Amino acid sequence: MPTPYLFVIRSPPNTWLGISPATTKLNHKNMVKIIATKVSENKDGKSFVSLKLQGGLEAVQSQQTGKMYLTAKTCFIASTFDEDTALSLVGTELPGSVERVPCDQYDYTVKDTGEVLTLVHRYEYLPPNATVPATKQTRPMELDLA
């Protein structure tokens, strides 16, 4: 009877989750996934369909408890699709990421607690090679396509 072999696979710490010491981002492919759709109205009352995008998995440390948890940033992006076409796109992946970008101050009410927070950021889809502006964006985003 042949002797069974024991294989030990060694890898640098944390690489099994895709975590490198320099970053806590788990999705190194920089892809977002369409996870839902939403029908909204513009200020003229005309309906349009938005796609809800979800970025890659991220490990974040709680400011209150100090414990780590996993999350993924989400945002909505307007589209020219009808509702049926948009629904057929759910599950599709696109290159890019969902990033925190500065914006004008606004109030946000936490649904669960009713707490009102004043925020100066929002989350937006950024295509590959785009950079997050350091200050409030007052003109169209410029992309470095080099």
Predicted TM-score (pTM) of the model is 0.67
Q: What pLDDT sits at residue 2?
A: 53
Comparing 69 with 145, which gets the higher pLDDT? 69
Q: What pLDDT sits at residue 136?
A: 52
Q: What is the mean pLDDT of the chain?
A: 79
User: Taking 80 as the threshold, does the pLDDT of residue 30 lie above it?
Assistant: yes
The closest of 52, 5, 13, 55 to 30, measured between CA atoms, is 55
User: Taking 80 as the threshold, does the pLDDT of residue 59 lie above it?
Assistant: yes
Q: What is d(CA 100, CA 86) in angstroms, rounded to the nearest whole number?
A: 24
DSSP 13-77: TTGGGT-BTTB-B--TT-EEEEEEEEEEE-TTS-EEEEEEEE---EEEE-TTT--EEEE--EEEE
Instruction: Render pLDDT for 73-130 as a digit per residue (tens, 0 to 9).
Output: 999 999 999 999 999 999 999 999 999 999 999 999 989 899 999 999 999 999 988 8
Q: What is d(CA 28, CA 39) in angstroms, rounded to the nearest whole number?
A: 31
Comparing 85 with 62, which gets the higher pLDDT? 85
Mean pLDDT, rounded, for 14-23: 42
Q: What pLDDT sits at residue 129?
A: 84
DSSP 8-state secondary structure symbol assigned to residue 92: -
Domain ranges across the chain = 15-96
Q: What is d(CA 23, CA 28) in angstroms, rounded to the nearest whole number?
A: 10
Q: What pLDDT sits at residue 21?
A: 40
Copy the structure tokens of residue 48.
């349009």
Instruction: Render pLDDT for 43-57 as a digit per residue (tens, 0 to 9).
Output: 999 999 999 999 998
Q: What pLDDT sits at residue 135?
A: 56
